Structure 1
Amino acid sequence: MHPILKPALRRGWRDLNTVQFGATRAHARVLGPVDTATGSFLTLLDGTRGLPLLREEGQRMGLPDGHVDRLLHRLARAGLLDDATGGGPAADALRGRTEVMDRLRPDLAALSAITPEPSQGMRKLAARRAARVRVQGTGRVGAVVASVLSGAGVGQVEVMDGGCVEPWDVAPGGLPPESVGQRRDAAARTAVRRAAPGRPPRHPEDRGDGERPLSLVVLAPRDGLDVFAPDPASAEPLIAAGTPHLYAGVMEGTGVIGPLVLPGATACAGCLAAHRADSDAAWPRMLAQWRSGRRHQVPACDLALATTVAGLAAAHALAFLDGAEPTLADARWEVPAPGLTWHRRRERAHASCPCGASEQVKGSTSPWIGSRTTQWPGNRLRGRGCLGFGGAHV
């Protein structure tokens, strides 16, 4: 291990013997009181020294036996310490690709800041390279989502759509103006490759056809109705395959993100449709008319709102891939323009839906929650926690 104080957390001395790490409420920690020798020792935690050398340096600085190990243990427990060489073989391979790492350093810094355990940020970044995500829909939302996921280090990002690029599909970070008239899927694949920080290595889970199992599907259709009121039939293959999928889009100037469907565990499109029909007897009739109408109108999907929805959808997708608690499971967020006030809607599993999520809710803990997510130990340390070092003794 080569300990390093997390560079992403700003550091400052509150007084002569108290140092604060981090500025935001979520990450700020206070260490104190700190004597002069311990304060000087902190400057050596830059990732260039292993534990044996740090212990020797501590002895030369007059620190008592065991002080260095206790200090490092406390810093690690508080989520302030990282390992410049940790993360396993995949992380080592990624570090060896300088041009890729230079692109991903901001993402690594963010993962390091929000991940308490040393080297876990690098481990998660390397794991992204092994993930396979599909984005269905390449309009102003979908194409940006695909590019962001690719640029953030997801190793395999597929895109699916039909037809050709229209002028109103163009968006910064998504499909460029020169793609107008090209096939949407081909243009989106070009945008994904352009955003990618290098080609990922072949993964051991790749099947004979060169494809690894899907980690997530993002459903971002150009027709916002298919997000606002998703068709259960279109999601049946994903439910049957057990593939997690996330909805994102814009409908009539209203951004919609969610739900994140964990098949058999959380509400799916069928559950949403059943609950709407229960609460509004006219809903199936209205939905049939909306779906059967002609769709030649340009969608009400302004660029700023579409970019906002795409960014948040990509953030939720990355958080899920990184193992965070899926906050969009059984929930969706809606944001109407021009007020741009976010509203959270709870989406519950429906007893009549064949997806089986309602039975899972009645039973034991979901197989997704716990096996696919991580309970951050650092959540118990939110706020300013004093690590309690006084004088030359711990």
Structure 2
Amino acid sequence: MHPMLKPALRRAWRNLQCVQFGAAPAHAVVVGPVDTTTGSLLALFDGTRGLDPLRAEARALGLPDGRLEALLDRLAEAGLLEDAAAGGPALEALRREGGGFDRLRADLGSLSVVHREPGGAARRLAARRGMRVQVRGAGRVGAGIAALLSASGVGRVEVRDGDRVEPWDVAPGGLPAEAVGERRDAAARRLVGRSAPGGRAARPVRNGRAAGSEPGLSLVVVAPRDGLAAYAPDPVPAGEWVATGTPHLYAGVIEATGVVGPLVLPGGTACAGCGELERSDRDPAWPRMLAQWRSGRRGRVPACDQGLAAAVAGLAAAHAVSFLDGELPASTGARWEVSLPLLEWRSERMSPHAGCSCGAGRRPEGVRASGPVKGQDTMAG
């Protein structure tokens, strides 16, 4: 282990004895009292020394045996300690990719704030390389999500879509203008490859599956160009994911409203079928209107504001990555909506329906993961 105070957390002395790590309240921790000797030892936790050199430094400062270990334990318990040597072979492979690790350093810093245990950030970043995510849709929202997932270090990002790129599919961070007229899936694969740390080339997809040996799907992100399929998702296409237990997340823009969620954990949270049944219970006219919307002629150009699409893509990608890292984001069993022009996010909890064949309504819903413990850590010098 090479102990290091988490560099992503800004430090400031509140007074002569207490130091605060972190500016934002969500992850801030106050440590104290800290005497001069302990402060000198803290300054050595920069990731360049192993435990044996640190023990020698502690003895040189006049600290008794065991004080270093006790200090490290308290810092780790407070979520302030990182292990600069963590990550294992997967992270070492990423470091060997030219420029790839440097592009993910900021992501690693963010992960170190969220995951308190030493080495937790490096292990999760390394684990992303072995994950496979499928994005259904390559419009402004779907292409943006695919690019962000790839840039976040997800090892396999597949994009499924048909037809050809239209001028209104083009977006910053998504499909470029030079892709107009090309097949959407091919253009999206190049986007994923360009976005990947180290410029990894995307593997070709054949018959909906990537060539070669691939891990199972960790997540499906449903981001259709027709926003209705995200706002009121059809249970039929989702049937296979429910049957195979594949988690899936909906995201899209309909008219002037953006939607992120729900994240469906099959058998545990509300699925598309649950949502359709629940809405029909509240509004008897809903099935009739939904049938008309799904079968009627649609305008050639779907309404999709650039800024709104970028906001939806960013939030959906962040929720997806949080789930891949082992958390249950706020979209788990819930839908988040935001509408122009006020752009105020609001959430709607989606409960499993007892009449749905997915079975989630007949068992307790999953418990949301609790956040990190925050507060003041008392440390005697």
Q: Tell me the TM-score range normalised by the shorter chain.
A: over 0.9
Q: How does 1:83-162 map to 2 (within 5 A)?
A: 83-97=83-97, 99-162=99-162
Q: Report the AA paired with residue 323 of structure 2.
A: F
8 A contact 1:325–1:375 mirrored in 2: no
Larger mean Cα displacement after TM superposition, 294-303 or 266-275: 294-303
Q: Report the AA paired with residue 388 of structure 1.
A: M
8 A contact 1:334–1:343 mirrored in 2: yes
Q: Report the AA paired with residue 214 of structure 1.
A: L
231, 234, 247: which is aligned to 2:234? 231
Aligned to 1:357: 360
In structure 2, what is the Cα distance between the partners aligned to 1:200 and 1:89?
Answer: 21
335, 340, 346: which is aligned to 2:338? 335
8 A contact 1:256–1:332 mirrored in 2: yes
State, as a whole percentage, how many aligned pairs show the same letter. Answer: 61
Distance 1:200 1:186, change over 3 A: closer
Is the aligned partner of 1:63 residue 2:63? Answer: yes
Aligned to 1:25: 25
Aligned to 2:213: 210
Question: Displacement of 1:292 after TM fit?
Answer: 1.3
1:301-327, CA deviations, whole angstroms, 9 ceiling, x for partnerless residues? 100000000000000000000001232
Structure 1, unmatched stretches of 5+, are none
In structure 2, what is the Cα distance between the partners aligned to 1:94 and 1:176?
Answer: 27
1:247-300, CA deviations, whole angstroms, 9 ceiling, x for partnerless residues? 000111000110001111110010111111111111111111111111233212
In structure 2, what is the Cα distance between the partners aligned to 1:85 and 1:273?
Answer: 49
Q: How does 1:232-381 map to 2 (within 5 A)?
A: 232-361=235-364, 366=366, 375=370, 379-380=372-373
Q: Report the AA paired with residue 240 of structure 2.
A: P
In structure 1, what is the Cα distance between the partners aligned to 2:227 and 2:327?
Answer: 27
8 A contact 1:85–1:92 mirrored in 2: no
In structure 1, what is the Cα distance between the partners aligned to 2:346 and 2:178?
Answer: 37
In structure 2, what is the Cα distance between the partners aligned to 1:283 and 1:192?
Answer: 38
8 A contact 1:4–1:84 mirrored in 2: yes
Distance 1:374 1:57, change over 3 A: farther
Question: Displacement of 1:208 after TM fit?
Answer: 9.1
Distance 1:345 1:211, change over 3 A: same
Q: Report the AA paired with residue 262 of structure 1.
A: L
In structure 1, what is the Cα distance between the partners aligned to 2:339 and 2:369?
Answer: 32
In structure 1, what is the Cα distance between the partners aligned to 2:211 and 2:168?
Answer: 39
Distance 1:23 1:100, change over 3 A: same
Distance 1:386 1:220, change over 3 A: same
Question: Displacement of 1:374 after TM fit?
Answer: 5.9
In structure 2, what is the Cα distance between the partners aligned to 1:200 and 1:76?
Answer: 38
Partner secondary structure for residue 109 of structure 1: helix
In structure 2, what is the Cα distance between the partners aligned to 1:297 and 1:389?
Answer: 68
1:220-243, CA deviations, whole angstroms, 9 ceiling, x for partnerless residues? 000011011111111111111111
8 A contact 2:251–2:313 mirrored in 1: yes
8 A contact 2:193–2:202 mirrored in 1: no
Question: Displacement of 1:149 after TM fit?
Answer: 0.2
Q: Report the AA paired with residue 103 of structure 2.
A: R
Distance 1:153 1:125, change over 3 A: same
Is the aligned partner of 1:75 residue 2:75? Answer: yes
In structure 2, what is the Cα distance between the partners aligned to 1:201 and 1:281?
Answer: 46
In structure 2, what is the Cα distance between the partners aligned to 1:213 and 1:290?
Answer: 34
8 A contact 2:137–2:225 mirrored in 1: yes
Q: Report the AA paired with residue 275 of structure 1.
A: E
Distance 1:112 1:249, change over 3 A: same
TM-score, normalisation: structure 1 = 0.91
In structure 1, what is the Cα distance between the partners aligned to 2:210 and 2:337?
Answer: 38
Distance 1:21 1:200, change over 3 A: farther
8 A contact 1:31–1:389 mirrored in 2: no
In structure 1, what is the Cα distance between the partners aligned to 2:297 and 2:252?
Answer: 19
Question: Displacement of 1:48 after TM fit?
Answer: 0.7
Q: How does 1:12-51 map to 2 (within 5 A)?
A: 12-51=12-51
1:147-190, CA deviations, whole angstroms, 9 ceiling, x for partnerless residues? 00000000000000011111110000000011111111111111
Give the CA RMSD over aligned residues: 2.0
In structure 2, what is the Cα distance between the partners aligned to 1:228 and 1:156?
Answer: 26
Structure 2, unmatched stretches of 5+, are 204-208
Is the aligned partner of 1:386 residue 2:363? Answer: no
